Amino acid sequence: MIPLSNPNISELEIQAVVDVLRSPSLSLGPKIPEFEAKISSYVGTKYAVAVANGTCALHLVLRALGIGKGDEVITTPYTFIASSNSILFVEAKPVFVDINPNDYNIDVNLIEKKITKKTKAILGVDVFGRMADWEKIQKIAKKHKLKVIEDSCEALGSAKAGTYGNAGVFGFYPNKQITCGEGGVIVTNDEKLARIARIERNQGRDYTTKSPHFQFVQHGYNYRLSDISSVILSKQMDRLNEMNRRRSEIAQMYFNLLANSGLKPSQNEPGVSWFVYTVELPKKIPANVKPKIIEDLKQEGVQAGNYFYPVHLQPFYKKKLGCKRGMYPVAEYVGDRTIALPFSSVMKDSEVKTVSEAFLKVVKKNGVQI
Ligand SMILES: *Cc1c(COP(=O)(O)O)cnc(C)c1O
């Protein structure tokens, strides 16, 4: 089976982990600030705060920005569920805005209609690695005095990803551009936000005090990242550009193989660091064909992904927020028709070919005229 994603772990990471395991510091040691320094310098922000995963990074940012009960946060329904789950963590309400059909990111022309007195922030997402229209989002935020949170969990390495908001967030699950199994980071230029996040990731302990005993100055969590994970990320950062180059090559290869098929394969663009590679099925095909194609691909030895089934159609969100089909038609249209193909920096050229051929065969078999 050609897997949907596949981490790129080399002997460098393996040896580095062994070295940490032989050291006295498995957590709260030197590897955490080392990784933080690397990623903040790469992204171009003053501060980075490493945490246990991308979801808790979003949670800490929302808390540090003072967003809470009764507040509304504007976001997209076409994303991984963590984006809006984190808004619910702080008892705020996710207010969805539909996406644009070109890059699947939040449709900035629809944002202002959704702003109310309760709106406190816009939480945008760089879906699949393509950047949202952050300049427009910043403009709207400035006009309405809103905070901006950039969920860049899928876009490490894309042009300026992580730098547009009050804070940006990256995640390091194994399908992301770099991974340590589970991990996340907050990047920001806001000293106060970084300090609060640092305190809250470690149970509320104030690390700045000179007091001889631990000072827990506020409520906090255990959202720490270990030195074992941090050192993996540190080594992955050294290889990020090389891995992203390969990802981009593979995206281009897919595009070349699928461009004349009548389907809509994602077009490789400069400045995009791809998270997954998706193909959009044509408009005329019924929505129920996609699951069949994914199933048939499995028989061909290809693991394809259902990216993304919109958040507002998830059973919990229907119940919690009263969401229904029809509310965000573009997200639903795209959600019904996009299929993610196997994608990683360790894929071979021959595998890209095998997947493309299997995909075209299965698409045809399911009656899609191409
Ligand atoms: C991966 C991802 C996250 C964070 O996920 P974790 O599994 O908690 O690290 C958040 N938002 C988006 C859009 C993601 O793709």
Q: Which of 55, 76, 89, 186 to mutate to test the pocket of ligand 1 (most atoms within 8 A of CB)?
A: 55
Atom of ligand 1 minimally distant from the CA of 183: 9
Gap from CA of 174 to ligand 1 centroid (Å): 11
Protein residues with CB under 6 Å of any ligand 1 atom: 53-55, 79-80, 82-83, 125, 151, 153-154, 171, 173, 184
| pTM of the model as a whole | 0.97
Predicted pLDDT at 324: 96
What's the pLDDT at 370? Answer: 65
- Whether the CA torsion 9, 11, 15, 21 is positive or negative: it is positive
User: 55: CA distance to ligand 1 center in Å?
Assistant: 6
190-212 mean pLDDT: 95
* Distance (Å) from CA 350 to ligand 1 centroid: 30
pLDDT, tens digit, for every residue of 130-167? 999 999 999 999 999 999 999 999 999 999 999 999 99
How far away, in angstroms, is 117 Cα from ligand 1 center? 29
Please report which confidence band the pLDDT of residue 368 belongs to, taking 50, 70 and 90 as the band edges: confident
Q: What is the rounded distance in angstroms from the CA atom of residue 117 to the CA atom of residue 347? A: 49
In the reported structure, the alpha carbon of residue 163 is separated from the centroid of ligand 1 by a whole-number distance in angstroms of 17
Ligand 1 mutation target, pool 85, 151, 343, most atoms within 8 A of CB: 151
Radius of gyration of the chain (CA): 21
Cα 199 to averaged position of ligand 1 atoms, centre (Å)? 22
pLDDT 10s digits, 56-115: 999 999 999 999 999 999 999 999 999 999 999 999 999 999 999 999 999 999 999 999
Q: Do residues 335 and 79 make contact, with C-beta atoms less than 8 angstroms apart?
A: no
Distance 56 CA to ligand 1 centre (A): 9
Tell whether the model's pLDDT for residue 287 goes beyond 90: no
Best residue among 173, 175, 179 to mutate for probing ligand 1's pocket (most ligand atoms within 8 Å of CB) is 173
What pLDDT score was predicted for residue 284? Answer: 84
